[in-house]
Amino acid sequence: MNDLQIFPVILCGGSGTRLWPRSRAAKPKPFLPLLGDSTLFEATLARCDRAAGFAAPVVVTGAAHVAHIEAQLHDPAGAQVIVEPSARNTAAAIALAALRLPEDAVMLVCPSDHHIADTAAFRRAALAAADLAAQGWLVSIGIEAQSPETGFGYLQRGEPVGPHGFRTARFVEKPDLERARQFIASGDYAWNGGIFAFGVGTFLRELEAHAPAILAAARAAVAAGHGEGHLFFPGADEFAAAPSISVDYAVMEPTAHKAMVPADMGWSDIGSWDALHAAVDRDADGNSPRGAVELVDCRNVLVDSDGPRVSVIGLSDVVIVIDGNDVLVTSHAGAQKVGKLQGAANQ
Amino acid sequence: MNDLQIFPVILCGGSGTRLWPRSRAAKPKPFLPLLGDSTLFEATLARCDRAAGFAAPVVVTGAAHVAHIEAQLHDPAGAQVIVEPSARNTAAAIALAALRLPEDAVMLVCPSDHHIADTAAFRRAALAAADLAAQGWLVSIGIEAQSPETGFGYLQRGEPVGPHGFRTARFVEKPDLERARQFIASGDYAWNGGIFAFGVGTFLRELEAHAPAILAAARAAVAAGHGEGHLFFPGADEFAAAPSISVDYAVMEPTAHKAMVPADMGWSDIGSWDALHAAVDRDADGNSPRGAVELVDCRNVLVDSDGPRVSVIGLSDVVIVIDGNDVLVTSHAGAQKVGKLQGAANQ
């Protein structure tokens, strides 16, 4: 690693219902040990830790999650936790982080609710992206697209830029299945996983050019903010004035200086129980039992029990989750509908 | 009904594991409200109640079940409860009941863990069987065989006897599938559901002829026994001497005087969760939710929860049972293996 300072900017927003009943408003997905012993937040921090040459992290989150972050930020020295007074989407969240960092540093923006199996591949891509960012590019990590997913945005690859990167020809919002298939067939598209490398000064200039209201609100909120230890509280009224727009729309689509670094790193957004099942360890029959579980004649069955003994006979491609007073039993195909259950809505 | 006294003899033995986790050693199948509000034991009593012309029942059971029987014997006047000191199979159990009844009465022997949907059809068959029993026949109710089950014994129909009955040509133990199919195709076979009508004196004479050791042990046990209210406790040492043989082997197979009365009465032995599912009410999609249940895209799914909220997506032909700290999820086909689960063994 060269002498570039790369600050991980960890975004901990939202609270989905797609992994209900394990994930709930009070214990959202980043803070759960969904894959092994570490939570997704802990794993995100560990991928970008000091030992690997990264600077101390900047965590941007809401007040509801601060207690989880304090409990799981195991190396707080030098870290900053920016507590958003309200949720104003990713452009404003990243602006807060940029305004709290040196202008000549590079930010590596990472969602905290994704899984990356291959840490070494992630770090190689992150360093390559940071190098391009230091040269003035706004860089996306382009996730190797494995299948024609319609739930992700895509990045189209353009001309090469440096040894590992490419211009980003364009951002494509979630496509329909036919277009997604065309993207996969062409080989020129990667998934947009929301991982970015930006020079701090570059990002602020591009934000000023393309979304000045967001920058102005973030700047005013930081000016009106106060710190408490490693926590920083931006001004609430000032931040509320920021338009709620994703960084993709606000900066990445309009900018002329976008690039991408492709990465094949075992990425998953763990966006549903079947996606989680694909990411966790399985036995020879494809089963993933966790807790007191007895499986008979089962294939590709995930069971995750927080206590009760679960006995399963003769099922395939099924997910069973026990959490407190809730029991979820879903086919893999049905897992996409978990967020629409009444149970998930009335948690 | 004529002036014949028909005494229901209700057998409450055993404690299977095939409906685990709802059925357990401490709360066995006859005493659970598996179909609606009544337990199978209550329903058995109600089918043979005083209002329908039956005499007061004789219940034969083990000590472990007496508390359940006391709680569910809602009309105890005249009833007897014989508490077996040990389990010695059905021939000895029926012998105890016979020895506590008038010689000129008729017994209607009924298991207490079966479901019969059509009470009127049952009573018609019971009266026809009792009439034949009063004429000296040992009568089985022959259950209309719906499918080539290999888990039941079969009765082969012989010459007609009276307006509703037939000689029983032979008893057939559980056949293999090919023979079971032949039985169904021939139309001459009925299932042996363990429901019998016997003249008390006839039964005791036939038992003496074919299994004298059982009669001698039962007689000695009754002689050494004592009563407490409607409970009767046969002598333990005497009863322990009785060979443990089913009434089918001990009497029905060897006797020359066996007859059967066919009955199509919606019978089920509720021998597994899929059999229970076939017997309970279903909605238009074949689902049977019981408790706090949300079903999405489900067909033929039975859910029975004693508390937790159960959400199910995209499954067919599945049974889900929540009981205390146990959760069972099984395919209909897998339901036959429930009794072999470690959970069922180590309840």
Per-residue exposure over B112-121, b if at least 16 CB sit within 10 Å of its own CB, e if not? bbbbbeeeeb
SS3 percent helix, strand, coil of chain B, rounded to 5, is: 35, 30, 35
Q: What are phi and psi of B286, to 5 degrees?
A: 80, 5
Q: How far apart are CA A334 and CA A341, in angstroms?
A: 11
State the CB neighbour count (10 A cutoff) for residue A284.
Answer: 6
Distance CA A254, CA A206 (A): 9
Q: How many CB atoms lie within 10 A of CB B1?
A: 10
Average pLDDT, integer, range B146-165: 94
Q: Could you tell me what percent of chain B has a pLDDT over 90?
A: 89
Q: Rounded to whole angstroms, how far apart are CA atoms A78 and A76?
A: 6
Interface predicted TM-score (ipTM): 0.88
pLDDT for position B15: 67
Q: What was the pLDDT predicted at B347?
A: 63
**pLDDT averaged over every residue in chain B:** 94
- Give A255-303 pLDDT, tens digit per residue: 999 999 999 999 999 999 999 999 999 999 999 999 999 999 999 999 9
Residues of chain A with CATH 3.90.550.10: 6-268
Which residues, including other chains, have CB under 8 Å from residue B253's CB and lie 6 or more apart?
B170, B171
Q: Which residues make Cβ contacts (< 8 Å) with residue B181, sequence separation at least 6?
A: B148
Q: In angstroms, rounded to a whole number, what is the distance separating the alpha carbons of residues A15 and B60?
A: 59
Alpha carbon distance B131, B100 (integer Å): 21
* Model pLDDT, residue A15: 67
With contacts defined as CB-CB under 8 Å, which chain A residues touch B340? 296
Range B6-268: architecture per CATH: Alpha-Beta Complex (3.90)
A345 touches chain B (CB under 8 A): no
Query: Which of B311, B317, B330 has the highest number of chain A CBs within 10 A, making it the mutation to test binding with A?
Result: B311
Pairing of strands B189-199, B154-161: antiparallel
Residue A134 has pLDDT above 60, yes or no: yes
Q: How far apart are CA A132 and CA A139, in angstroms?
A: 7
Backbone angles phi, psi at B29, to 5 degrees: -45, -45
CB contact under 8 A, B309 and A327: yes
Q: Tell me whether residues B315 and A334 touch, CB distance under 8 A.
A: yes
Distance from CA of A346 to the nearest CA of B (A): 12
Chain B, nearest residue to A316 by Cα: B331
Neighbouring residues of B17: CB distance < 8 A, sequence distance ≥ 6: B23, B338, B339, B344, B345, B347
Residues 186-215 of B with CB under 8 A from A: none
Residue A276 tokens read as 């989680």
CA angle B195, B197, B199 (to 5 degrees): 155
On chain B, the residues whose CB falls within 8 A of the CB of A329 are 310-313, 315, 318, 320, 329
**Residue B1: pLDDT over 70:** no
The partner residue sitting opposite B313, judged by closest CB among A322, A326, A334, is: A334
DSSP secondary structure string, A101-124? S-TTSEEEEEESS-EES-HHHHHH
- Band (pLDDT 50/70/90 cuts) for residue A1 is very low
Amino acid, single-letter form, for residue B206 = E
Phi, psi of A132 (to 5 degrees): -65, -35
Whole-prediction pTM value?
Answer: 0.89
Whole-number pLDDT of residue A281: 92
pLDDT score recorded for residue A27? 83
Judge whether A98 and A198 are in contact, CB under 8 Å: yes
